Structure 1
Amino acid sequence: MQEFNIPQSLEIEVSQLRKTINSLLWVTKLFRTVGYSILVLVFIDLIDIFVPLNFMNPVWELQMMGALVDLVIITLIGLVLVFSGKLEKRLKWEFPFLLWLSRLSLLVGLLYLLLIPLGINNTISLYNVNIEVLNQDYSQQVLLNSNWKQHIGPASASEWNNLLEHQNMQEVKTQTLVEVNQKQNHPDKKLPATNFSRNFKLLKSSVKFNLGALVAAALFITIWKETSWARAWG
């Protein structure tokens, strides 16, 4: 019967454990590299979003807010990958970088919270603009219909015959006046539907962006809380 060699068995187990640890360290290093690359891409996207700046423009500000909300998922993935493995096997330059990255997570979370009142204010501003445009379209339609009626009403039979030689002039004239009167009595028949569609899209985008900003703020602040080990180094 073969004698069981305890030292040899321990050596084998330790060797296997080392291989497992080295594999995990390699995967962690890969995760961090991918995370840093993602954050660089996010920074490039931020430059594209903010250049050129156009603050005080509600349309640009709402689009900017939507773009920032769309960046949340990829940014969070990058942060999680960069923070993976905590302080194990870090390069010297990474320690201060992680310290400020953790603090930056809190700042970004607070900025997303500040986006919410900005988004609500811009939604109200754009809603009022839509109403103003609707009123202008309504007035222009009323004026146009009124001008049509003034020109069609006094038209002579010879003028109508020149345009419609093969149709009964009186019937065409009567039908045209009826249509114009209907339009003048209901000039905004299609306008409310168009305005409703605009405002519905505006409201849907606003709800999406504001809820997204709220969730983003909570997640970034959570990352700040969970990375206290990075700040403890400083």
Structure 2
Amino acid sequence: MMKINRFFRNLLPAQTKGKSNQPRRRLFWHRFPSLNLPRIRLPELRPLELPRFRLPELPPLELKLPSLSQPFANLFFLIEDRQGFFILLNWLGYILVLASALDYFLIIYPPKLTNPEWELQAIKSLVSNSWFFLLGLILVFLPTRIYIRRLEVNFLIFLRSLTLCLGIFYILLIPLGVINTYRINTDTFAEISSEKIERQQQLDRLENAVRTQQIDPNQLQRVGEALGLQENPNSENIKRALIQEIEAQKQQVQERATKQKEERFRKLFRQSVRTHFGALLISVFLIRLWWETHWVKALKEQPTDTW
């Protein structure tokens, strides 16, 4: 341990208090000889000059948007090629027409021409399922294309003639529906009247049996208990109460039959008016569409090289 302290004491300078006449010891790294390294002179480098590029000045981007104070301002909107979009509309029209034709076939097949209820229901279904068909016709006859094929022109001519036939067909459905409505109403009234008569005949037979005492006393006793009468089965009070109940039942049967007739007639009349009014509107629209598509016939008469 003492040797180590002596070694560091020789290396480090001694710390003295105040001034001392003894010369200061040299630091240990001063004891090593200095190294004389050769001087290397680098050549002077010329400054690097980069070419100056001048970027073109871009005009400021100006976006004119409608201000909040003018939310309905008009914006410039232009599509160079509109034919693709209008062709899609025509295809959608053909799809709607074909789907409606399939619906019409399923409505009228199998036919039951002697059944007034089936005929009236078929007319109602033809009217209610015709709105997509009319929309398809509008899209098919949309005159927005520049070029059209000859085959499609022939199909449009056929479809135009079919439109006129359907307009006449819907007009003819109106008197047929009125006749079927009358027949259904007559059959309904006859059915309700027959049920009323049958019920009244049953009550009349029961009243006659009570008056002539042709009912078993045990049955009269049960009827009396049902009416709340605790008397002798042969008592006149039970018979009188039973006859009054029969008369009340007759009155209820008459009122019920009248009410059923009124409800059936009101429901049938409402359905018939709505169906026939819809058929009239459809027929008018189809005839007007046939008249407005006269350009199809004129297109057929043009030479082929102008298409």
Measured in 1, the distance between the counterparts of 2:168 and 2:139 equals 22
Shift in CA distance, 105/87, structure 1 to aligned 2, threshold 3 Å: farther
The match for 2:265 among 199, 213, 217 is 199
- Structure 2 residue matching 1:187: 3-state secondary structure: helix
Measured in 2, the distance between the counterparts of 1:168 and 1:192 equals 36
8 Å Cα contact 1:28-1:85 kept in structure 2: no
Percent of matched pairs sharing the same residue: 24
* 2:90 pairs with 1:32: yes
The match for 2:79 among 2, 8, 20 is 20
For 2:244, the aligned partner's letter is: V
Shift in CA distance, 176/43, structure 1 to aligned 2, threshold 3 Å: same
Q: CA RMSD in A?
A: 2.6
* 2:103 pairs with 1:41: no
For 1:196, the aligned partner's letter is: E
Shift in CA distance, 102/159, structure 1 to aligned 2, threshold 3 Å: closer
For 2:189, the aligned partner's letter is: I
Shift in CA distance, 216/174, structure 1 to aligned 2, threshold 3 Å: same
Measured in 2, the distance between the counterparts of 1:20 and 1:132 equals 67
The CA deviation at 1:188 is 1.2
TM-score, length basis structure 2: 0.64
Shift in CA distance, 84/162, structure 1 to aligned 2, threshold 3 Å: closer
Query: Following superposition of structure 1 onto structure 2, how do residues 1-234 of structure 1 map, counting pairs within 5 Å?
Result: 20-22=79-81, 24-85=82-143, 88-153=146-211, 154=213, 155-161=215-221, 164=225, 168-169=230-231, 173-185=239-251, 187-234=253-300
Contiguous gaps of at least 5 residues in structure 1: 1-15
Contiguous gaps of at least 5 residues in structure 2: 1-75, 301-307
For 2:147, the aligned partner's letter is: K
Measured in 2, the distance between the counterparts of 1:116 and 1:137 equals 32
8 Å Cα contact 2:83-2:145 kept in structure 1: no
For 1:160, the aligned partner's letter is: L
Asked which structure has the greater RCO (Cα within 8 Å, sep 6+), the reply is: 1
Measured in 2, the distance between the counterparts of 1:66 and 1:200 equals 17
The CA deviation at 1:181 is 1.6
Measured in 1, the distance between the counterparts of 2:170 and 2:95 equals 23
TM-score, length basis structure 1: 0.83
For 1:190, the aligned partner's letter is: R
| Range with greater deviation from structure 2 (153-162 or 35-44) | 153-162
Measured in 1, the distance between the counterparts of 2:282 and 2:149 equals 29
- Structure 1 residue matching 2:111: 3-state secondary structure: coil
The CA deviation at 1:50 is 0.9
- Structure 2 residue matching 1:53: 3-state secondary structure: coil
For 1:188, the aligned partner's letter is: Q
8 Å Cα contact 1:99-1:233 kept in structure 2: no
Shift in CA distance, 156/100, structure 1 to aligned 2, threshold 3 Å: closer
Measured in 2, the distance between the counterparts of 1:40 and 1:226 equals 22
Measured in 2, the distance between the counterparts of 1:110 and 1:161 equals 70
